[in-house]
Amino acid sequence: MSNEEKKVQDEQLQQENTVETAETVSAEEEVVEMTMEELQAARIAELEAALLASDAKAKEAVDASLRARAEGENVRRRSEQEIDKARKFALNKFAEELLPVIDNMERAIEMTDKNDEALKPMLEGVELTLKTMTSTVEKFGLKQIDPMGEAFNPEFHQAMTIQESADFAPNSVMLVMQKGYELNGRVIRPAMVMVSKAPAGNIDTQA
């Protein structure tokens, strides 16, 4: 083989080696590029998962806070209701004990001879005392039930007897035997009353 042929052969081998090297480098660069993309995708997926987990924890914390606030509000409301109830009816027992005193004072006034000049100072004193007492207890929610002439209501009145009457509409209170009392809207003693009914033979002839 001449030197010239050898030289040509060497150049061909060198070119082939250069091409192979270039192909190898390109393949390695492609592998590196794919690996970086995979790493970036994995990192993004990891961050997204962490974000979802963080959002879930934040939502749980908000829900827990709302539940705690609602429970606190319920406890506060129940406490206020209990306090209000205790305040309203704290005088219940005292009021029940006081009613006979008021009844006796009213009966004393009714039975006193108002034409007796000697008894007038005493009568005026009892009337003033009764008025002061009733106005004082009213400030604490104790009110009289005096249903004279009103329709009979079993929630507030206790019927002691029923009488025929042409002067009162049927089922009306025609006499209050004993006044009732309520404390802040709750009846502690119903009024004892006489209830009217239509006279016998009184037939409604209206068409």
Residue 171: per-residue pLDDT: 95
Q: Buried b vs exposed e over 154-191: b needs ≥16 C-beta within 10 Å?
A: eebbbeeeeeebeebeeebbbbbebbbbbbbeeebbbb
Please name the residue ranges forming H helices in the chain: 3-89, 92-111, 120-138
Q: For the chain, which ranges sit under pLDDT 50?
A: 31, 204-207
What element of type H or E holds 164? strand 157-164
Residue 148: per-residue pLDDT: 95
Residue 205: per-residue pLDDT: 41
Tokens at residue 137, please? Answer: 């207890």
Q: Model-level pTM greater than 0.75?
A: no
Q: What is the pLDDT of residues 2-29, one digit of tens each?
A: 666 666 566 666 665 555 555 555 555 5
Residue 195: per-residue pLDDT: 96
Q: How many CA atoms are closer than 13 Å to the CA of 38, on its beta-carbon side? A: 6
Nearest residue to 197 via CA among 165, 159, 149, 158: 165
Q: Point out which residues pair with 193 in neighbouring strands.
A: 159, 176
CA distance linking residue 100 with residue 95, whole number of Å: 9
Residue 184: per-residue pLDDT: 85
